[in-house]
Structure 1
Amino acid sequence: MKFFIRLFIITIFSFLFTQCFGVNKTFPEKRFFLIEASENKQLFSPPKPRTFLVRKVFISQRFEGKEFVYRKDNVVYESDFYNGFFIPPSHNFKEEFSKSLIRSGNFEWDANLHTRLNVTHFIELNLSQLYGDFRSKEPKAVIEFEVVVYEDKDSISSPVFRKTYKQNITIEKKDAEALVIGWNSAVTNVLNEMNLDLSKQLK
Structure 2
Amino acid sequence: MKTLIRLILLAGLIFSLSQCFGVSKTFPEKKFYLIETGETKSIYSVPKPRTFVIRKVFISQRFEGKEFVYRKDNAVYESDYYNGFFIPPAHNFKEEFVRSLLKSGNFEWDASIHTRISVTHFIELSLTQMYGDFRTKEPKAVIEFEVVVYEDKDSVSSPVFRKTYKQIQSIEKKEPEALVLGWNLGLTSTFNELNLDLSQKLK
Q: If the length of structure 1 is used for normalisation, what is the TM-score?
A: 0.91
Query: Counterpart of 2:153?
Result: 153
Q: Unpaired segments of 5 or more residues in structure 1?
A: 1-5
Paired residue total? 195
Query: Counterpart of 1:122?
Result: 122
Query: Counterpart of 2:3?
Result: none
- Counting only pairs closer than 5 Å after superposition, residues 46-65 of structure 1 correspond to structure 2 as 46-65=46-65
- Counting only pairs closer than 5 Å after superposition, residues 106-145 of structure 1 correspond to structure 2 as 106-145=106-145
In structure 1, C-alpha distance between the alignment counterparts of 2:17 and 2:78, rounded to whole Å? 32
**What secondary structure, in the 3-state scheme, does the structure 2 residue paired with 1:122 have?**
strand
Deviations 1:53-98 (A, max 9, x none): 0000000000000000000000000000000000000000000000
In structure 1, C-alpha distance between the alignment counterparts of 2:87 and 2:11, rounded to whole Å? 47
How far did 1:10 drift?
Answer: 7.6
How far did 1:14 drift?
Answer: 4.1
Query: Counterpart of 2:74?
Result: 74
Q: Unpaired segments of 5 or more residues in structure 2?
A: 1-5
How far did 1:112 drift?
Answer: 1.8
Contact 2:18 2:24 in 1 (8 A): no
How far did 1:12 drift?
Answer: 6.3
**What secondary structure, in the 3-state scheme, does the structure 2 residue paired with 1:53 have?**
strand
**What secondary structure, in the 3-state scheme, does the structure 2 residue paired with 1:77 have?**
strand
Query: Counterpart of 2:99?
Result: 99
**What secondary structure, in the 3-state scheme, does the structure 1 residue paired with 2:55 have?**
strand
Structure 1 counterpart of 2:58, one-letter code: F
**Cα 1:16/1:41, change in 2 over 3 Å:** same
In structure 2, C-alpha distance between the alignment counterparts of 1:32 and 1:101, rounded to whole Å? 26
**What secondary structure, in the 3-state scheme, does the structure 1 residue paired with 2:115 have?**
coil
Structure 1 counterpart of 2:54, one-letter code: V
**What secondary structure, in the 3-state scheme, does the structure 1 residue paired with 2:143 have?**
strand
How far did 1:108 drift?
Answer: 0.2
Query: Counterpart of 1:178?
Result: 178
In structure 1, C-alpha distance between the alignment counterparts of 2:194 and 2:58, rounded to whole Å? 18
**Cα 1:120/1:10, change in 2 over 3 Å:** closer
CA RMSD of aligned residues (A): 2.1
Q: If the length of structure 2 is used for normalisation, what is the TM-score?
A: 0.91
Deviations 1:95-142 (A, max 9, x none): 000000000000000012111110000000000000000000000000
Query: Counterpart of 2:87?
Result: 87
